[in-house]
A and B are shown apart, each in its own frame.
Chain A
Amino acid sequence: MNFIRRVLMVLGIAGIAGALLRVRGKSEPSTQRGGWRPLNPTTDSSVDQTSSQN
């Protein structure tokens, strides 16, 4: 009985630790600096940058 209880406790703690590791952590940014500008391939006309990120 004690053995089963310990196994369940270990599994529970491992599950909680796994879940925390899964949802926490730092993001790796794909891009650092810049913004988006409208693009029209047919006329290739571009407008100035409309938004900035960092």
Chain B
Amino acid sequence: MIDFSGAIGVIGAGVTGSRVVEHLVATSNNPILLHDQDLYGAQRLAAVHRSRDTTVSVVDFDAVATASVVVLACGSPHAPLAQKLLARGASVVSLSDDVSDVMELLNMHEQTQALNKVLVVGAAASPGLTGLLLRHLETSFDSVDEAHVAFHGTGGPNCAVQHHQALAGQSIGWHDGEWLRRPGGSGRELCWFPEPVGAYDCYRAEMADPILLKRAQPQLQRITARVSARRRDRFTSRLPMMTPPHAEGGMGALRIEVRGFRNGSRIVEIAGVAEQVAQIAGVVAATTALFVQRGQVATPGACVLGQDSLPNSEILRDILAGGVRLHQFVGT
């Protein structure tokens, strides 16, 4: 009989789910309960890690719900799954970047609090790492009032579909005390990402970052999020995807530009990461899950990376130890 005490559950054995499992196997000895509708894919992923010290077991949904914390690395919506898992006594780490899904997850705060569990919303690359970078950059300021996110690349096929739909949706931005909705695909801005990604034209898109960054840092006055796109992406954004998405996107990148005051002067700090998007998301989610499993995220309820009640600097430190390299922009 295998002992599943202190187990971490992972739902989704796709590109991002496999990176979550890979990072958990590399950094912990906790048993891993893996569940996916594609049983063959889940068994193949478990077999890859069979020779290691950590046990990776393919289980059904009822069994994965017995884990102390479950990472949702499957396609959205995550809210119904999170509801079931919380009701069965598991804490949840969601990688969802779908705006309506994220809103539903955040609305589960009181329910999660009543169950004395933790629900981490948007623990991926963008959102997720952006919140941690905002928190890190904030230490260089006396006060911050603006955060602008730009993102390039996609993780697995679900992420590529989400990216495609985001350009056709309504972007949400926080501007001087009110939420502004603008059409996706507008607001072109040439953004420089860390090498080897370089410069890409980025546009407004339906991204969850502004909602989560506002939740993490309520004092922010202006928050925007943009995503890179080619002309063809914008031209076809309102149509179904012409070609099936790649199994895994190439090198991705994200950057966050934070503006505020230091010693009475207006300053700007920019941090970024260039890495495969699934790798960033996997490391962020797995690291967050380990913190929740060890009880280092003490406040019950729905939370987002970067908010005051979380050990943000420790989480970021472990993410960087996991191989994600952080860069800072120097210039004007």
Give A36 to B294 CA distance when docked, in angstroms. Answer: 35
Q: Using a Cβ cutoff of 8 Å, how many contacts connect chains A and B?
A: 80
A2 at interface (Cβ–Cβ under 8 A)?
no
A51, closest chain B residue (CB):
B195
A28, closest chain B residue (CB):
B189
Give A42 to B321 CA distance when docked, in angstroms. Answer: 10
B275-332 residues with Cβ-Cβ distance < 8 A to A are 313, 316-317, 320, 325-332
Find chain A residues with CB under 8 A from B270 CB: 31
Find chain B residues with CB under 8 A from A31 CB: 191-192, 270, 329, 331-332
Given contacts A30-B150, A41-B320, A41-B326, contact A35 B189 (CB under 8 A): no
Find chain B residues with CB under 8 A from A33 CB: 331-332
Whether B328 pairs with A23 at a CB distance below 8 angstroms is no
A39 at interface (Cβ–Cβ under 8 A)?
yes
Contact of B327 among A19, A39, A42 (CB under 8 A): A39
Whether B201 pairs with A27 at a CB distance below 8 angstroms is yes
Per-residue contact bits, chain A 26-51, to B (CB 8 Å; 1 contact, 0 not): 11111111111111111000100111
Per-residue contact bits, chain A 1-40, to B (CB 8 Å; 1 contact, 0 not): 0000000000000000001001101111111111111111
A interface with B by C-beta (< 8 Å): 19, 22-23, 25-42, 46, 49-51, 53
Whether B189 pairs with A37 at a CB distance below 8 angstroms is no
B235 at interface (Cβ–Cβ under 8 A)?
yes
Q: How large is the interface on B (under 10, 10 to 19, 20 to 34, 35 or more residues)?
A: 20 to 34
| 30 residue pairs bridging A and B, Cβ less than 8 Å apart | A19-B235, A23-B234, A27-B188, A27-B190, A29-B192, A30-B191, A31-B191, A31-B192, A31-B270, A31-B329, A31-B331, A32-B331, A32-B332, A34-B330, A35-B330, A35-B331, A36-B194, A36-B327, A36-B329, A36-B330, A37-B330, A38-B328, A39-B326, A40-B320, A41-B317, A41-B320, A46-B328, A49-B330, A50-B195, A51-B195
Find chain B residues with CB under 8 A from A29 CB: 189-190, 192
Contact of A53 among B192, B316, B317, B327 (CB under 8 A): B192
Whether A39 pairs with B188 at a CB distance below 8 angstroms is no
The 10 closest A-B pairs by CB, nearest first: A34-B331, A27-B190, A36-B327, A39-B328, A23-B231, A29-B190, A36-B194, A51-B195, A39-B326, A30-B191
Contact of A36 among B190, B235, B313, B328 (CB under 8 A): B328
Find chain A residues with CB under 8 A from B189 CB: 27-30
Per-residue contact bits, chain B 197-241, to A (CB 8 Å; 1 contact, 0 not): 001010000000000000000000000000000010011000000
